[in-house]
């Protein structure tokens, strides 16, 4: 199986372009990377992955941000707004309270548009330029649309975004709007938006930049590479576990691919690969269901609900890549309630780190798995927080304290403080 951790580095096929090609994860068919627009396999409709004739080791990386990892990407440079190089915060109080050896928070909300989607877009929009397409499109729970709008305008291209009406946080719509995207509000959920935009892309109306697009996941691999380098610098070892929120499972797939490639390059021991641990909201947990049932496929949930709108997804398109990632690394998946998510959002905020609800799911999931004894107290863990607090100001205000009205004089303020 091509997605196994112990898979051999494949031989370069004739259709490779400067050592880069696309391969179907289901049937193994290979394709030239930039000759035609293609999102899935022509033969079996399986998901595609980018393959490289040469894989880098840690010594090959230089510079800062996503493009530090150019040797692990299809290009030397992309359409960039200085994405990546996000903080790997220490959180000593949370670490103590959860009761593990080490806990770090990789805050992807510190990217240019406030989410990790920027890492995928710097590569994906570059590919779009290479292919010579005019209009870019995505379905989005919000953050993908913000990133697409910003990177599309940076690249001088038109952007079209399909959003589920009434289910996108205010900050994200504001971004897509100001960066000049054409915003279509669909009377349906995210999965319905993705069905439509996939059909539009299939008819040649636009170039699709959802995480179904294999090039986006290449950029997102760099989250994993940064976490590993950060832990190696601070602990002289890679983390035992990485906990992350799961929506379409693009990040889960991307991190697994980053680790597989390091193993193939001889830069990481197979036994040292961090356990990928996915967290979903209870109201949108099809991946958790598949992991718990040992199923090979994910069952689509038609009705999904959670205040963590970024992961309000019932049909995770990257499941065929992510399920092997969770299983082969010895990880797991867990569902948390909206109340547990909000509590974690407050606890992360108490360390000075502002994240949106979906992001807090990672810490809520870790807390639950530690309480159940599935995570050991001697583990070193990285939790991924995927988006910034300001993305969803309404959720932040609802989780935080109420403003108190006071009169406009000092005595009145003092009286109020003494009440």
Write out the binding residues for Zn ion, residues 16-75 only, by CB under 5 A. Answer: 24, 26-27, 29, 41, 43-44, 46
* 14 vs 417 by CB, closer to Zn ion: 14
Q: How far apart (Å, rounded) are the C-alpha atoms in residues 332 and 201?
A: 34
Our finding on whether 143 is near ligand PLP (CB under 6 A) is: yes
Residue 210 marked as a ligand binder: no
Residue 293 marked as a ligand binder: no
* 171 vs 247 by CB, closer to ligand PLP: 247
Instruction: For residue 29, report the phi and psi dihedrals to the nearest 5 degrees.
Output: -60, 145
Nearest Cα residue to 363 out of 11, 89, 12: 89
**Percentages (nearest 5) of helix, strand, coil residues in the chain:** 45, 15, 40
377 binds, among Zn ion, ligand PLP, none (CB under 5 to 8 A by kind): none
Write out the binding residues for Zn ion, residues 134-153 only, by CB under 5 A. Answer: none
Residue 285 marked as a ligand binder: no
Our finding on whether 250 is near ligand PLP (CB under 6 A) is: yes
Q: How far apart (Å, rounded) are the C-alpha atoms in residues 337 and 351?
A: 22
CA separation, residue 357 to residues 86, 202, 225, 283, 391 (Å): 19, 33, 25, 14, 10
Handedness of CA 285, 110, 58, 228 (dihedral sign): negative
86 binds, among Zn ion, ligand PLP, none (CB under 5 to 8 A by kind): none
359 binds, among ligand PLP, Zn ion, none (CB under 5 to 8 A by kind): ligand PLP
Our finding on whether 249 is near ligand PLP (CB under 6 A) is: yes
Q: Are 165 and 140 in contact (CB under 8 A)?
A: no
Our finding on whether 246 is near ligand PLP (CB under 6 A) is: yes
Part in contact with ligand PLP (CB under 6 A); list of ranges 41-49, 99-107, 129-137, 249-257: 249-257
Residues touching ligand PLP, count (CB under 6 A): 18
Our finding on whether 315 is near ligand PLP (CB under 6 A) is: no
For the chain, state the CA radius of gyration: 21
Write out the binding residues for ligand PLP, residues 356-415 only, by CB under 6 A. Answer: 356, 358-359, 386-387
Nearest Cα residue to 172 out of 193, 198, 201, 148: 148
Distance of closest approach, residue 172 Cβ to ligand PLP, in angstroms: 8
CA separation, residue 105 to residues 4, 110, 112, 227, 404 (Å): 28, 12, 18, 10, 32
* 30 vs 220 by CB, closer to ligand PLP: 220
Residues that bind Zn ion (CB under 5 A): 24, 26-27, 29, 41, 43-44, 46
Residues that bind ligand PLP (CB under 6 A): 115, 117, 143, 211, 245-251, 310-311, 356, 358-359, 386-387
């Amino acid at each position: 199986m091509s997605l196994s951790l112990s898979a051999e580095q494949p031989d370069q096929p004739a259709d490779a372009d400067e050592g880069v090609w696309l391969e179907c994860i289901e049937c193994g068919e290979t394709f030239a990377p930039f000759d035609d627009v293609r999102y899935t396999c022509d033969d079996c409709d399986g998901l595609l992955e980018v393959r490289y004739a040469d894989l880098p080791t840690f010594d090959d990386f230089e510079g800062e941000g996503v493009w530090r990892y150019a040797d692990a990407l299809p290009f030397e440079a992309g359409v960039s707004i200085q994405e990546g190089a996000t903080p790997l915060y220490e959180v000593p109080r949370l670490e103590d309270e959860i009761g593990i050896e080490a806990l770090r928070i990789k805050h992807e909300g510190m990217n240019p548009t406030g989410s990790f989607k920027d890492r995928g877009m710097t590569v994906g929009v570059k590919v779009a330029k290479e292919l010579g397409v005019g209009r870019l499109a995505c379905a989005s729970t919000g953050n993908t649309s913000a990133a697409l709008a910003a990177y599309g305008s940076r690249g001088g291209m038109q952007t079209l975004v399909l959003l589920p009406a009434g289910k996108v946080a205010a900050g994200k719509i504001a971004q897509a709007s100001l960066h000049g995207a054409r915003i279509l509000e669909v009377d349906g959920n995210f999965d319905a938006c993705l069905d439509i935009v996939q059909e539009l892309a299939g008819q040649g109306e636009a170039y699709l930049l959802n995480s179904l697009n294999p090039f986006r996941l290449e950029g997102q691999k760099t989250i994993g590479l940064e976490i590993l380098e950060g832990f190696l610098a601070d602990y002289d070892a890679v983390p035992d576990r990485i906990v992350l929120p799961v929506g379409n499972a693009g990040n889960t797939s991307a991190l697994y691919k980053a680790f597989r490639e390091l193993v193939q390059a001889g830069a990481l021991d197979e036994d040292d690969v961090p356990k990928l641990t996915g967290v979903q909201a209870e109201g949108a947990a099809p991946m958790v269901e598949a992991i718990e049932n040992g199923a090979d496929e994910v069952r689509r949930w038609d009705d999904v609900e959670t205040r963590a709108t970024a992961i309000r997804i019932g049909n995770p398109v990257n499941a065929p890549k992510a399920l092997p990632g969770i299983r082969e690394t010895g990880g797991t998946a867990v569902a948390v309630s909206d109340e547990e998510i909000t509590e974690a959002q407050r606890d992360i905020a108490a360390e000075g780190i502002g994240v949106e609800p979906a992001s807090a799911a990672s810490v809520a999931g870790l807390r639950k798995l530690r309480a159940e004894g599935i995570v050991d107290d001697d583990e070193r863990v990285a939790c991924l927080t995927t988006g910034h607090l300001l993305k969803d100001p309404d959720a932040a205000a609802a989780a935080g304290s109420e403003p108190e009205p006071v009169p406009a004089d000092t005595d009145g303020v003092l009286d109020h403080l003494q009440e």
